[in-house]
Amino acid sequence: MHRFDRTAIRLTGVISIVAALLGCAGDLALQYTSRSEHLMSRRALYLLDVPPGRLLLGHYLGVVGILFEIVGFWAVYRAMKPAGERYALPFFLVNAFGAMLGATFHATFVFVGLTLQAQSRVTGAAASEFTDLLASFNAARVGLAIPALAAIVIGSFLYVLTVGFKPTHYPRWMAFCNPLVFLLVVVGLTLVVPASAPFLAPTAINASHLLFFLCSTTVTWSSTSGSNRRPFVPRIVA
């Protein structure tokens, strides 16, 4: 294997890990609150506890990080290519589309937060107008959140189907290391260890991607890593 090929695969893995960390940092900057009654509020009341500067920081960190997670899905796509394009490419397209939706959804938090904070400073009819505006914001956000979550489910199903039953550069046990499983683990931890909820609940999706990219990068780091058919010998050009 050429040094460039190995370097490229490793580099995409590292980029994906850094991107997921940025996504987690953005989530925490936007949504962390010490007030349990505001945590994961459907009305996003946790945004009342975030100063404007932190809102903007979380906005940019998250949008950039989530978009760069597409690089990680490309690396996984390359490792799945021995199964054929009809299996590997749909995985990549679904997850790349989901990441774009996720970045767009993340970008709405700053506007909802600034609107909520403006509403908290007024009373009477003006506050009612903000309520109607926020309701419209939240209705629009649902149209982003639902397909983004659906992409995680569908992408994980495609990944499990391919890695578990088709030839790839992953060992078959890697089928269990998928974003949906990791997401359920993170959510489960918030229930089992309530003290972790302020940190894990806001970051659940990006944390699941972080674990996924860590596993993928670790397994594919060496050119002779475990495989369900043959050693991992990636090429940049198909």
| 119: Cα separation from own chain's centroid | 30
Look over the chain and give the mean of its residue pLDDT values, rounded to a whole number. 89
pLDDT for 3 beyond 90: no
Measured CA to CA, the distance from residue 200 to residue 123 in angstroms comes to 34
Number of domains into which the chain is organized = 1
Q: Kindly state the average pLDDT of the residues 84-111.
A: 96
Whether 230 is covered by a domain: the verdict is no
CA distances from 39 to 31, 60, 198, 238 (A): 8, 22, 7, 47
Q: Answer for the pair 234, 220: CB distance below 8 angstroms, yes or no.
A: yes
Q: Which amino acid is at 27?
A: D
Tokens of 10: 């490793």
Whether 238 is covered by a domain: the verdict is no
Whether 8 is covered by a domain: the verdict is yes
Q: What confidence tens digit (pLDDT) does each residue in 50-88 have?
A: 999 999 999 999 999 999 999 999 999 999 999 999 999
pTM confidence score:
0.88
Whether 104 is covered by a domain: the verdict is yes
Q: What confidence tens digit (pLDDT) does each residue in 153-169 have?
A: 999 999 999 999 999 99
Can you give the pLDDT at residue 159?
A: 98
Whether 78 is covered by a domain: the verdict is yes
Mean pLDDT lowest among 93-107, 170-184, 214-228: 214-228
pLDDT for 29 beyond 50: yes
Confidence category of residue 5, pLDDT binned at 50, 70, 90: low
Residue 192: partners with Cβ closer than 8 Å, 6 or more residues away? none
| 205: Cα separation from own chain's centroid | 5
**Which structural domain range is residue 62 located in?**
3-220
CA distances from 61 to 3, 46, 132 (A): 32, 18, 29
Q: Which helix (H) or strand (E) holds 218?
A: helix 197-220
Whether 189 is covered by a domain: the verdict is yes
pLDDT for 123 beyond 80: no
Share of the chain above pLDDT 90, in %: 71
Whether 194 is covered by a domain: the verdict is yes
Confidence category of residue 228, pLDDT binned at 50, 70, 90: low
